[in-house]
Structure 1
């Protein structure tokens, strides 16, 4: 069976803080350098690094001893900036506390009538259970279980239930239509709600395919269609026509051939479409799928389940998968109360939990992935949550190692300062938060957020995939992060 990493890589308790934290110093972002050594404690060393960063916008950061909670340094630590994907750290804490480490998502196949002579006298229901890691391989397994249960045909309908979670057309509607990191969200997802678009030269024309591929299967889909338009711009166009995603692509942008993953806007029909194909491959012809809003009573025919929650969260943080974060976060909100009505509603519930559990008073999340630019997290708040997470030790093993780089951009895996953290990147927004282990073994919790909201506000929707100046700004932000981490590891760990 294909691993989740195949798809991911293609995109893919109140804090006990002492007086030192409450009175942490705050300095003006981007101060003028004064020539002090960056490897001395206090404001002078920070000023040197920040002044040389050449970074427009704002910089906020905080660092503390992860074991004692002692605040060591803070620059505008109570100033909220967009966390980008660093916000997924908060979602991981929320989900672990709410759902527990043993939680697994389940996708079920239900029958609403009896089985007589191989014929199901009722409807067959594909019931989404909020699993963000469901793949075509899993639907093939459900089809095999269905055949093994004796179902040879269905007298009723093929129904798909996505109502466990609310339907959201796009995680961030301000993103370009074609970006795979902002697909639709609902109670069922397949292949991270992405469809594979491939084009090749065929004589004087183009051969185009839209499929739900894995390494094992490559079923064509009828719920996503592509047409080639004679134009240069825009590169992509999109319309929803009766639940079918209709795409157009500019002929002038196709080159010699290629492929990319496009987002799915009708996830329930997409899953039903592919399940129908997998069932046909097992000799069971099913009617075309229909989406339902209420789950009917029925007997269990087959089911598949996800990996345990910690493994899902590790993948979410490593690959920064937005869909996984949103579905996991909304499932946690559902477990705590009524079904959330939207991503924003669920994000607000998580925000309230963060304030109650960790005392994060200056943080507000509008989703669980950090993709929405209206979310705000302060460096001090994130550090509080990180320190508190050390009581259980469940978070740090889920974070990925972050390496320093040499002058040629190569990772230095033997560097004496070790970092386990979560990155976050939007256009003209960059964040990093996690843990630093100094050469002497001292463990620090840190948060760094940088943002140029003025530059970001000038980007048109069409430019958001690759705005001018965005890459160089992000490079400078990451260089600044490395210099700060190097400084903290040396100053507070020797």
Structure 2
């Protein structure tokens, strides 16, 4: 006879090589709302990139799926004939997709509006966020290797230690290429009060940003989005302010916060903590919100088909039936999401280091068992 479902799920996790006390899991039947399996479901554990589930839910809830991030050019001075007498300011608001083509677009907008010369400087404004380039609790090697420097103004995911300055220099070149003479140099600063908006470009929608972040586990986008939440909702473009917004959104959704500590957006921080129960709560809350659910679900990798799960669970019954967020650092391995539209589940496994390959194999077996139901 076939062993009970909970017993088979426990057996799958028992092969992970992870200490029982450092492994948390929870499965809820979405139809009956019954708990199918629980192991240390409320134990506080390092979530790795499963942190991005909380950030995605909070961003979609607080900002909306159609939200776009603006990068703009403002003028401090006045236009005399075709000459701007004063400075031009390139102001960033944290668009993770900003590229050189966008700078070309901005320069073309100015030229088409009749601007042929600038007497002053080109000023880069990254003050929408603070100047911290990493998040608290990161290993030193994560800087540049796991995420480019964090800035509200950065072009092409710049690896420059001064990304806003690099962007400003690139914009000055784009202006010259568009036929706009620039007599001044480049510098960083803040947009003066009363500066005139002259040109702008918009990022893709938040639903698209969250999709890219979730499917490929993009740390950079996650870190920019948590600062975006801080800047827009709390009026402070810092990671701690954004983390407080995320926590507040979870609290408003009545997700249990005991054992939860949001420190960064990506899950790279060794200080982050979530519980399997809290993550399942995020999954259920996202699914229950008709404005959030389509974008949230579309951002989950699909077993054997897309994103970070493309190379995992490539055979039936899991293939195409498991949609879940992966997570891997030296301290944690995680997998949380949905199975066949019937189950919401979360697995968090910690170690120092975590045995990542055996942990991942046990997660895949666990999800495949659920997919076979």
TM-score (norm. length: structure 2): 0.89
Find the structure with the greater CA-based Rg.
Answer: 1
Q: Which digits, 9 at most, give the CA deviation of each residue in 1:82-126, with x for residues without a partner?
A: 111111111111111111122111111111222223211111010
Q: Is the 8 A contact 1:422 1:434 kept in 2?
A: yes
Structure-1 residue corresponding to 2:163: 267
Structure-1 residue corresponding to 2:94: 130
Asked if 1:49 is matched to 2:49, the reply is no
Q: Is the 8 A contact 1:127 1:295 kept in 2?
A: no
Asked if 1:303 is matched to 2:200, the reply is yes
1:348 is matched with which residue: 240, 244, 248?
244
Residues 47 and 359 (structure 1), Cα distance of their counterparts in 2 relative to 1, 3 Å cut = closer
Structure-1 residue corresponding to 2:328: 425
Q: Which digits, 9 at most, give the CA deviation of each residue in 1:139-192, with x for residues without a partner?
A: 111111122122222111111111112221223552317634233223222212
Structure 2 CA distance for aligned equivalents of residues 139 and 483 of structure 1: 48
Asked if 1:480 is matched to 2:362, the reply is yes
Structure 1 CA distance for aligned equivalents of residues 328 and 155 of structure 2: 25
Q: Is the 8 A contact 1:161 1:295 kept in 2?
A: no
Q: Is the partner of 2:253 in helix, strand or coil?
A: helix
1:321 is matched with which residue: 214, 218, 221?
218
Structure 2 CA distance for aligned equivalents of residues 290 and 332 of structure 1: 27
Structure 2 CA distance for aligned equivalents of residues 411 and 323 of structure 1: 24
2:148 is matched with which residue: 173, 183, 189?
183
Structure 1 CA distance for aligned equivalents of residues 229 and 312 of structure 2: 36
Structure 2 CA distance for aligned equivalents of residues 89 and 74 of structure 1: 20
Structure-2 residue corresponding to 1:396: 297
Residues 411 and 71 (structure 1), Cα distance of their counterparts in 2 relative to 1, 3 Å cut = closer
Structure 2 CA distance for aligned equivalents of residues 343 and 330 of structure 1: 5
Q: CA shift at 1:432, angstroms?
A: 1.1
For CA contacts below 8 A with separation 6 or more, give which structure has more relative contact order: 2
Q: Is the 8 A contact 2:45 2:273 kept in 1?
A: yes
Structure 1 CA distance for aligned equivalents of residues 342 and 97 of structure 2: 33
Q: Is the 8 A contact 1:98 1:335 kept in 2?
A: no
Q: CA shift at 1:390, angstroms?
A: 1.4
Structure 2 CA distance for aligned equivalents of residues 378 and 319 of structure 1: 23
Q: Is the partner of 1:271 in helix, strand or coil?
A: helix
Q: May I ask how many residue pairs the two structures share in their alignment? A: 359
Structure-2 residue corresponding to 1:337: 234
Residues 412 and 361 (structure 1), Cα distance of their counterparts in 2 relative to 1, 3 Å cut = closer
Q: Is the partner of 1:380 in helix, strand or coil?
A: helix
Asked if 1:111 is matched to 2:10, the reply is no
Q: What is the aligned-residue RMSD (CA, Å)?
A: 2.3
Q: Is the 8 A contact 1:62 1:447 kept in 2?
A: yes
- Aligned 1:56-455 pairs, distance under 5 A: 58-171=22-135, 173-176=138-141, 179-192=144-157, 194=158, 263-286=159-182, 287-340=184-237, 342-362=238-258, 363-391=260-288, 392=290, 393-394=293-294, 395-403=296-304, 413=314, 415-417=316-318, 418-437=321-340, 443-452=342-351, 454-455=352-353
Structure-2 residue corresponding to 1:245: none
Q: Is the 8 A contact 2:322 2:339 kept in 1?
A: yes
Q: Is the partner of 1:175 in helix, strand or coil?
A: coil
Q: CA shift at 1:67, angstroms?
A: 3.6
Structure 1 CA distance for aligned equivalents of residues 192 and 93 of structure 2: 11
TM-score (norm. length: structure 1): 0.68
Question: Greater helix percent: which structure?
Answer: 2
Stretches of structure 2 lacking an aligned partner (at least 5 in a row): none
The farther-off stretch of 94-103 and 412-421 is: 412-421
Structure 2 CA distance for aligned equivalents of residues 274 and 372 of structure 1: 32
Q: Is the partner of 2:101 in helix, strand or coil?
A: helix
Residues 356 and 420 (structure 1), Cα distance of their counterparts in 2 relative to 1, 3 Å cut = same
Q: Which digits, 9 at most, give the CA deviation of each residue in 1:340-394, with x for residues without a partner?
A: 4x31232133123312323222221011221111110100111112112211223
Q: Which digits, 9 at most, give the CA deviation of each residue in 1:42-65, with x for residues without a partner?
A: 3x3244223333346822111101
Q: CA shift at 1:81, angstroms?
A: 1.1
Structure 1 CA distance for aligned equivalents of residues 190 and 108 of structure 2: 26
Question: Greater strand percent: which structure?
Answer: 1
